[in-house]
Structure 1
């Protein structure tokens, strides 16, 4: 069900997947999308997963944040606090559906935004797809695509907007993202961490059971998860082999991630 959610700065485009008719409601999930073109590249996978969650009895709300997708505003005027306010409105909208416990699901930079929002929202659990570990490092990845990494290599924020991957970033937004560190956002709820890695070159393109047995977390992810656990967090990490659909040339689908995500929520 598509609709627009009223906000202080225009409207936000939303897509809501109701729990499957005849299935007892089990909760509600708010999806937090990634940044820039990764949002568009991931829509197919997110849609498939949202439908799977709905079939299992969850209401799933997707929201395009201010200046993103089909929502009001320009990214050049976006701010981190506006995005947090957008999530707060969506979170309240889900609460009014009275479906049960609420969960946050984020992809890439959206996972980092979900972690930041979770500090006050206190979700039942977090579902993190390929989370960005550092806002600065994440923007550097985009900057390198256009040979602009020097703009985010510790230099102070410039007074003019900076173009990243074809998107004009306001200084306040880039500065806020640069300061984000997942290590400082230890979650106080269970976390389902799902991460994709390409298989070894000699493993071919078969992402079946034999390949999954060899999948491992990226070293930086493993270190962060260990740090969270030492700080009391409960993290269930699932490494998988698969194509990074959020940056692939074609619209990619990773069935193993869909299956693992549905199974992970069962134990959240």
Structure 2
């Protein structure tokens, strides 16, 4: 039977809210689930919890943590920094490693995969990364986020154009911008835009795209093909289902947990 444990992980940067999913026996490995960005995190929390529970049922110790300024963790989103979030992932990973006998895998949803890749480049040690519906680059992630604000303006003014140039101009001079109720600092925007999803060849990579497409995106194909030429044996899947991180109502994707466990079984054996 899976046991859940909600707690605050203390540290120099403030307390971070976590939910751990414990398997019945001593865990054979550990899994850190990394959430999406801003409102997408709220929309997808139920699906990530379902994945974490399935991981625990398969014998893994799983953890979902709120990075600084998000969820129930201390701090304000306006003060959040990419480097601080990387430090949070390292703290979460250290907690898991202390309580598990085996390797560590990361599961990053959307921009969470970008954050995981940045953390790996900054010294976080893991054996595998599963990127779920990942945004291919930080530049694209920032553009999509800013377009939310532009779309909100369009809704208020039918004559307005969907234009993010004014928002980018504010960020360029160091001013925060308001997007969907979140105050995005120039520092966080700059770091997000510079992020890339390019994990080391020594890491087992999984790439899952969710939707109605019949083939992987061009960005995914290019990345996986380059890695294949270097001898990487990566995992890729197309998973039919709703883009639950952006649907108006909370939608579940029942096939997602089993797919994540399938990847872990291959990557951590």
TM bucket normalised to smaller:
0.7 to 0.9
Alpha-carbon separation, structure 2, partners of 1:152 and 1:3: 37
The Cα shift of 1:154 comes to 8.8
Change in 2 beyond 3 A, CA 1:181/1:151: farther
Q: Is the 8 A contact 2:15 2:74 kept in 1?
A: yes
TM-score of the pair, normalised by structure 2: 0.87
Please, which of 167, 178, 182 is the counterpart of residue 163 of structure 1? 178
Which ranges in structure 2 are unaligned for 5 or more consecutive residues? 151-162
Alpha-carbon separation, structure 2, partners of 1:155 and 1:73: 23
Q: Is the 8 A contact 1:245 1:251 kept in 2?
A: yes
Change in 2 beyond 3 A, CA 1:246/1:187: farther
Answering whether residue 20 of structure 2 is matched by residue 8 of structure 1, we say: no
Q: What's the CA shift string for 1:120-178, capped at 9, x where partnerless?
A: 22311111111111111111112112215225769862321122232111111110111
Change in 2 beyond 3 A, CA 1:136/1:4: same
Alpha-carbon separation, structure 2, partners of 1:70 and 1:144: 26
Q: Is the 8 A contact 2:170 2:176 kept in 1?
A: no
Change in 2 beyond 3 A, CA 1:165/1:221: farther
Change in 2 beyond 3 A, CA 1:229/1:14: same
The Cα shift of 1:92 comes to 0.9
Change in 2 beyond 3 A, CA 1:98/1:257: closer
Alpha-carbon separation, structure 2, partners of 1:192 and 1:170: 31
Q: What's the CA shift string for 1:37-70, capped at 9, x where partnerless?
A: 0111001111111100000000001110000000
Q: What's the CA shift string for 1:213-259, capped at 9, x where partnerless?
A: xx321222212222333344331101121100000111111122222
Change in 2 beyond 3 A, CA 1:78/1:241: same
Aligned to 2:196: 181
Q: Is the 8 A contact 2:118 2:196 kept in 1?
A: no
Aligned to 1:123: 126
TM-score of the pair, normalised by structure 1: 0.87
Answering whether residue 211 of structure 2 is matched by residue 197 of structure 1, we say: yes
Give RMSD over aligned pairs. Answer: 1.9
The Cα shift of 1:181 comes to 2.1
Aligned to 1:142: 145
The Cα shift of 1:78 comes to 0.8
Q: Is the 8 A contact 1:122 1:188 kept in 2?
A: no
Answering whether residue 49 of structure 2 is matched by residue 34 of structure 1, we say: no
